[in-house]
């Protein structure tokens, strides 16, 4: 009932980290362009296959952005939609099922709703059917003003594959629509081409497949290479207008692309004998870029252990919006006070010092992968479970009904 919200408020307040003086408001009034990178894992960044870069555009972007190399997805069965939920709410998705489909009628206090009070328009673009993951319903709940799904694009047999429109025509067709959106805006782009089973038309292949025994893994590099080219074109199109310099561009990998079923090939890819639960958790890293045109000279690789849960307060603080009364479980990525810590949906965690696998109850040193006694991980394991429980309560009890705007 409504009294449950008080315990949660207290927990969130106690864990709130104060924004960095330097970054608070650094992008005040700018547009936010958010790009969900389908199935994109961090090991691709700066990876060389057959002597070639798999993500040349993103590799170059590292040197012009705040790039987070210990950033993890926190998703569950709701995959892309769970990542979207985390990014907009800083609340964990559910232990089973997809919050986008099971709890789309709840009360939320998502970034689009908050930004609405600051004069922003929020839109989302995606080259698949509007009802996939119940997006058409959930986007209204979260405060998106307009959703541009499949029917707003010219989709043909030639320019689509797998789940829908290919990423290059997606960005090419979306930018002219974006140009007409009232500024300042919060605009989300959900890519699609790098999706299992990672199929491409021959004319879109820009790198040879890898040569492990596993064709899924082999093709993954090719669809990721194609996605990278689509991003290059997207930036080029943005730069043709004022949109580029008036925006902050946030790119994030939504979740893993290569599941545990492919561990044998992945061991070869990352150069280990066998993937244990330590390697598995490290493979849950996804790239996060925060690119702020005009601030390229301050570009930096940020090593803080973090996750999708942390993006909402980070964006709001960059825009100069306080979040101390928000029910949010993440912490500003630029705050010098933030703890190096993130949680996996199964209760595993990664901290600056330890990695704990819930699946086989093993505590590792984060840096070396050496196994240490479980009691060293216990306090943070308890914190992870407690935080997940509180977050689940918010959703199952629809508790944001009892908070004020």
If we measure between CA atoms, which residue out of 16, 20, 13, 15 comes closest to residue 320? 20
Q: How far is the CB of 38 from ligand GP9 (least distance, A)?
A: 6
Q: Which does residue 323 bind out of ligand GP9, Mn ion, none, counting CB within 5 to 8 angstroms by kind? A: none
41 forms part of the interface with ligand GP9 (CB under 6 A): no
Binders of ligand GP9 in range 246-265 (CB under 6 A) = none
Q: Which does residue 190 bind out of ligand GP9, Mn ion, none, counting CB within 5 to 8 angstroms by kind? A: ligand GP9
Which of 40, 42, 70, 80: binder of ligand GP9 (CB under 6 A)?
80
Paired with 148 in beta bridges are 125
Radius of gyration of the chain (CA): 20
Structure tokens at 41: 């894992």
Phi then psi dihedrals of residue 351, to 5 deg: -125, 180
Q: What is residue 190's three-state secondary structure?
A: strand
327 forms part of the interface with ligand GP9 (CB under 6 A): no
Which of the residues are catalytic? 80
Structure tokens at 59: 């590799």
163 forms part of the interface with ligand GP9 (CB under 6 A): yes
- 38 annotated to bind ligand: yes
Q: How far is the CB of 187 from Mn ion (least distance, A)?
A: 18
Question: Contact, 390 vs 328, CB < 8 A?
Answer: no
Q: Reply yes or no: is the peptide bond before residue 184 cis, omega within 30 of 0.
A: yes
- 118 annotated to bind ligand: no
Question: Would you give the distance in Å from CA 214 to the centre of its chain?
Answer: 26
Residue position matching structure tokens 């919006």? 321
**Segment lying near ligand GP9 (by CB under 6 A), choices 27-35, 178-186, 188-196, 339-347:** 188-196
Q: Where are the beta strands (DSSP E) in 1-109?
A: 31-37, 48-49, 52-53, 66-68, 71-72
Binders of ligand GP9 in range 117-156 (CB under 6 A) = 128, 132
How many CB atoms within 10 Å of residue 309? 25
Can you tell me the distance from the alpha carbon of 263 to that of 19, in angstroms, rounded to the nearest whole number?
A: 39
Structure tokens at 397: 């009890």
By C-beta, is 19 or 78 nearer to ligand GP9?
Answer: 78
Question: Would you give the distance in Å from CA 126 to the centre of its chain?
Answer: 16
If we measure between CA atoms, which residue out of 157, 222, 226, 219 comes closest to residue 191? 226
Q: Which does residue 188 bind out of Mn ion, ligand GP9, none, counting CB within 5 to 8 angstroms by kind? A: none
Q: How many residues bind Mn ion (CB under 5 A)?
A: 4
Binders of ligand GP9 in range 190-209 (CB under 6 A) = 190, 192, 195
**Segment lying near ligand GP9 (by CB under 6 A), choices 86-94, 189-197, 278-286, 316-324:** 189-197
Per this entry, what is the length of the chain? 405
Structure tokens at 322: 């306080």
Question: Would you give the distance in Å from CA 309 to the centre of its chain?
Answer: 9
Q: Which does residue 132 bind out of Mn ion, ligand GP9, none, counting CB within 5 to 8 angstroms by kind? A: ligand GP9
By C-beta, is 308 or 387 nearer to Mn ion?
Answer: 308
Which of 167, 214, 254, 326: binder of Mn ion (CB under 5 A)?
254
How many CB atoms within 10 Å of residue 211? 12
Q: Which does residue 128 bind out of Mn ion, ligand GP9, none, counting CB within 5 to 8 angstroms by kind? A: ligand GP9
String of contacts with Mn ion for each residue 213-252, x by CB under 5 A = ----------------------------------------
80 forms part of the interface with Mn ion (CB under 5 A): yes
By C-beta, is 174 or 192 nearer to ligand GP9?
Answer: 192
Q: Which does residue 16 bind out of ligand GP9, Mn ion, none, counting CB within 5 to 8 angstroms by kind? A: none
79 forms part of the interface with ligand GP9 (CB under 6 A): yes
String of contacts with Mn ion for each residue 288-307, x by CB under 5 A = --------------------
Which are the contacts of 141, defined by CB distance < 8 A and separation ≥ 6? 104, 105, 106, 108
Q: How far is the CB of 36 from Mn ion (least distance, A)?
A: 7
Question: Contact, 302 vs 319, CB < 8 A?
Answer: no
Q: How far is the CB of 81 from ligand GP9 (least distance, A)?
A: 6
If we measure between CA atoms, which residue out of 347, 352, 346, 399 comes closest to residue 378? 347
Residues in touch with Mn ion (CB under 5 A): 38, 79-80, 254
Residues that bind ligand GP9 (CB under 6 A): 79-80, 128, 132, 163, 190, 192, 195
Binding residues for substrate: 195
């Amino acid at each position: 009932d409504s009294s449950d919200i008080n315990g949660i408020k207290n927990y969130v307040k106690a864990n709130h980290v104060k924004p960095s003086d330097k970054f608070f408001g650094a992008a005040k009034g700018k547009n936010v362009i958010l790009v969900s990178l389908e199935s994109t894992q961090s090991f691709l960044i700066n990876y060389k296959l057959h002597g070639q870069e798999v993500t040349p555009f993103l590799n170059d972007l590292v040197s012009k952005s705040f790039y987070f190399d210990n950033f993890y997805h926190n998703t569950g069965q709701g995959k892309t939609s769970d990542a979207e939920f985390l990014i907009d709410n800083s609340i964990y998705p559910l232990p089973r099922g997809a919050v986008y489909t099971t709890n789309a009628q709840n009360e939320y206090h998502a970034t689009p709703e908050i930004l609405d009070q600051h004069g922003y328009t929020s839109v989302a673009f995606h080259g698949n059917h509007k009802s996939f993951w119940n997006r058409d319903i959930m986007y209204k709940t979260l405060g998106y003003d307009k959703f541009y799904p499949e029917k707003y694009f010219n989709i043909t047999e030639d320019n689509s594959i797998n789940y829908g429109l290919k990423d290059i025509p997606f960005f090419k067709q979306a930018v002219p629509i974006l140009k007409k959106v009232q500024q300042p805006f919060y605009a989300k782009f959900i890519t699609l081409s790098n999706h299992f089973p990672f199929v491409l038309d021959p004319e879109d292949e820009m790198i040879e497949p890898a040569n492990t025994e596993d064709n899924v893994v082999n093709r993954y590099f090719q669809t990721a290479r194609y996605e990278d080219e689509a991003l290059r074109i997207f930036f080029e199109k943005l730069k043709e207008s004022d949109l580029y310099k008036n925006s902050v561009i946030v790119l994030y990998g939504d979740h893993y692309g290569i599941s545990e079923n492919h561990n044998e090939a992945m061991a070869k890819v990352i150069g280990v004998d066998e993937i244990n639960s330590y390697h598995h958790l490290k493979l849950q890293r996804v790239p996060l870029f925060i690119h702020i045109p005009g601030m390229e000279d301050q570009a930096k690789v940020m090593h803080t252990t973090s996750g999708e849960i942390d993006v909402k307060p980070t964006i709001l603080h960059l825009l100069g919006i306080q979040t101390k009364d928000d029910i949010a479980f993440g912490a500003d990525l630029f705050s010098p006070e933030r703890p190096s810590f993130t949680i996996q949906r199964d209760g595993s965690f990664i901290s600056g010092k330890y990695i704990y696998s819930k699946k086989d109850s093993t505590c590792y040193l984060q840096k070396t992968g050496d196994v240490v006694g479980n009691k060293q991980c216990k306090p943070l394991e308890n914190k992870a479970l407690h935080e997940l429980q509180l977050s689940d309560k918010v959703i199952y009890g629809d508790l944001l009904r009892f908070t004020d705007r």
